[in-house]
């Protein structure tokens, strides 16, 4: 279950200021180095208004990307890697065009015609620069840090999403414009010295070399070297702001309060006693399924609607396939479906992803098969249905009566008997008189009550990492030599940390002092092929007793994006867990049971 965020207050001005400063800081960070040659080359040609067009086009594309396009790309299951691939392709194409003057002239011809169509005051290269800058925005987009994840995630207040995205882009654009104007002045002097063609070819070659370096992950090593030899303030100028508790709180505030939670707190049924029916109150009209993608386990894959299910009792379950809390509820849902479908119960699993790879329809289909789900499941990749319900939890269960009214809500694991009692009461209310003997899950889970809290490795939500937390970008972490506090963690070796995950680069280790019976970790393989994670428990390879179902001879083979079971003990214990993570493997979140 996830924490509830506080309602939005009067802190929007502070949040927008943070976004502006964060954007400016991004434009000053090493991450922006790949785009500089293209920016200087594009801004140095044409009239004096061209740099303004280049930067405006770049900022516009970047804003659209962080507010909308990234969501669309994730929605079709391409994930963050697609943005990087697109950046490499665009950068390489720019390099070829700049390095070959004749090709550049042919490409510029239609752009020059576009300039003549625009207002005279905006001519002299402005409109062509706008188009060129628009393409460069795809190269710059992957530089966005945790603010990118925050902007996409805060779907509850769409106006705030757009405003924060614009503020971030404006901050970056201000710095990039200064760089473009300064570079233009420098290159003008070079041209007057008769070296213009040579410089143009050199810039093109540099862009091509940068694209090749990115394709082979060499830029990651370069950023690691910078991080090792430069102060943190130069590597990530906005780190102090990103780590600010006030900023994190205000980012969380944008999500608002859950819609049905306050009412549910006063309306949950009592546990059934000697067949007594629970008392259920009306919590409000049930929102429709909206903004969904693929449907599973429906006739012909056609969408369902709550309006079309009038007369049935509908159980709406918000889940995602890497959430262990959700996985533990699936046996109970399967049992409810088997016991009460013939009596009029309809279950709809709304799969709302937490991580980008969970938006892939193939991954969701595999999870449905693996968990033996026969009821309807729908993808909610853009969180449109999640937002319509005002939901903020995985898992979350809502019961809708035969008239389309929400009558019961439960968040998190547990209280399966309450949920079943509510189902039976609503089915009787709808006219079912001969209900069966009840649901009997085929397996149950018994999570430890004092287990280590869920732990994220992405910079946006990482907590309890020693000695100084995780840093966005590629950094070398010195192995932690001291004794870890309980439920704390430490990275070692070279890691590339994004907002959502930490990707192993070289000599990567992950230590944790963890408590629980079971340890689970969401992992993804390298971009090409599979990877491995070697596991030590208290300094010894984890083999035999205590190894999770995905561990074989002390090693996990990471071949797809999913939740991996690492440790399985007879009872809850505290141990030192050490992972040796192969290059290219990404780790997202720990959960403990």
Domains, the chain, with CATH or none: 12-243 (no CATH), 261-429 (3.40.30.10), 455-592 (2.60.120.260)
Strand, helix or coil for residue 399: strand
- Whether residue 3 is predicted with pLDDT greater than 50 in this model: the reply is no
Phi/psi for 522 (5° steps) reads -80, 120
pTM of the model: 0.59
- Whether residue 162 is predicted with pLDDT greater than 60 in this model: the reply is yes
Q: How far is CA 281 from CA 262, 405, 410, in A?
A: 13, 10, 14
Is the CB of residue 390 less than 8 Å from the CB of residue 296? no
Contacts of 545 (CB under 8 A, 6+ apart): none
**Residue carrying the six token digits 């430490």:** 490
End-to-end CA distance of the chain: 13
Instruction: Read off the pLDDT of residues 77-87 as tens digits, 9 standing for 90 and up.
Output: 334 455 556 66
Q: How far is CA 208 from CA 37, 92, 94, 100, 347, in A?
A: 10, 5, 8, 12, 53
The kind and range of the H/E element at 451 are none
Average pLDDT over residues 253-272: 53
> Is it true that the peptide bond before 133 is cis, omega within 30 degrees of 0?
no
Supply the pLDDT for residue 319. Answer: 95
- Whether residue 104 is predicted with pLDDT greater than 80 in this model: the reply is no
Task: Please give the DSSP secondary-structure letter assigned to residue 267.
Answer: T
- The CA-CA-CA angle for residues 275, 318, 362, to 5°, reads 130
Question: Which residues are bridge partners to 591 per DSSP?
Answer: 520
Instruction: Read off the pLDDT of residues 22-73 as tens digits, 9 standing for 90 and up.
Output: 677 666 665 566 666 666 666 555 566 777 777 777 777 766 765 554 444 3
């Amino acid at each position: 279950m996830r924490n509830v965020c506080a309602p939005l207050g009067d802190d929007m001005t502070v949040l927008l200021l943070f976004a502006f400063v964060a954007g400016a800081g991004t434009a000053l960070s090493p991450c922006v180095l790949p785009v500089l040659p293209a920016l200087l080359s594009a801004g140095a040609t044409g009239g004096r208004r061209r740099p303004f067009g280049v930067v405006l086009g770049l900022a516009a594309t970047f804003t659209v990307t962080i507010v909308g396009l990234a969501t669309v790309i994730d929605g079709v299951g391409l994930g963050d890697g697609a943005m990087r691939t697109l950046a490499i392709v665009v950068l390489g194409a720019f390099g070829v065009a700049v390095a070959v003057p004749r090709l550049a002239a042919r490409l510029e011809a239609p752009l020059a015609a576009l300039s003549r169509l625009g207002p005279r005051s905006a001519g002299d290269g402005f409109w062509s620069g706008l188009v060129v800058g628009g393409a460069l925005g795809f190269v710059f987009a992957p530089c966005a840090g945790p603010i990118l994840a925050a902007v996409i995630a805060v779907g509850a207040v769409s106006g705030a999403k757009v405003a924060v995205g614009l503020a971030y882009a404006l901050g970056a654009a201000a710095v990039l414009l200064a760089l473009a104007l300064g570079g233009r002045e420098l290159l003008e002097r070079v041209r007057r010295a008769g070296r213009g063609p040579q410089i143009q070819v050199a810039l093109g070659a540099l862009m091509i070399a940068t694209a090749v370096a990115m394709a082979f992950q060499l830029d990651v090593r370069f950023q690691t070297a910078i991080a090792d030899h430069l102060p943190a303030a130069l590597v990530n100028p906005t780190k102090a702001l990103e780590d600010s508790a006030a900023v994190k709180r205000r980012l969380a505030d944008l999500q608002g309060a859950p819609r049905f939670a306050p009412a549910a707190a006063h309306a949950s049924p009592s546990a059934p006693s000697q067949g007594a029916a629970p008392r259920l109150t009306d919590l409000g009209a049930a929102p429709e399924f909206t903004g969904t993608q693929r449907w599973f386990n429906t006739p012909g894959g056609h969408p369902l609607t709550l309006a079309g299910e009038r007369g049935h009792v509908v159980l709406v379950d918000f889940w995602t396939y890497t959430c262990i809390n959700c996985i533990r509820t699936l046996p109970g849902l399967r049992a409810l479906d088997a016991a009460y479908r013939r009596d009029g119960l309809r279950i709809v699993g709304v799969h709302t992803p937490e991580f980008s790879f969970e938006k892939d329809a193939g991954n969701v289909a595999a999870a449905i098969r693996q968990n033996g789900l026969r009821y309807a499941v729908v993808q909610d990749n853009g969180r449109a249905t999640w937002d319509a319900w005002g939901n903020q939890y995985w898992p979350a269960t809502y019961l809708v009566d035969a008239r389309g009214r929400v009558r019961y809500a439960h968040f998190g694991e547990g209280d399966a008997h309450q949920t079943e009692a509510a189902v039976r009461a609503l089915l009787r209310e709808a006219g079912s008189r001969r209900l069966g003997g009840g649901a009997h899950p085929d397996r149950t889970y018994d999570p430890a009550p004092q287990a280590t809290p869920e732990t994220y490795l992405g910079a946006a939500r990482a907590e309890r990492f020693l000695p100084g937390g995780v840093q966005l970008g590629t950094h070398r972490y010195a192995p932690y030599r001291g004794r870890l506090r309980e439920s704390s963690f430490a990275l070692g070796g070279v890691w590339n940390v994004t907002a959502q995950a930490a990707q192993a680069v070289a000599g990567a280790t992950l230590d944790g002092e963890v408590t629980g019976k079971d340890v689970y970790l969401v992992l993804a393989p390298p971009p090409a092929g599979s990877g491995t994670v070697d596991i030590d428990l208290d300094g010894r390879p984890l083999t035999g007793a205590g190894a999770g179902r995905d561990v074989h001879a002390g090693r996990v083979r990471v071949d797809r994006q999913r939740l991996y079971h690492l440790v399985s003990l007879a009872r809850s214990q505290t141990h030192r867990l050490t992972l040796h993570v192969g290059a290219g493997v990404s780790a997202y979140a720990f959960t403990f049971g």
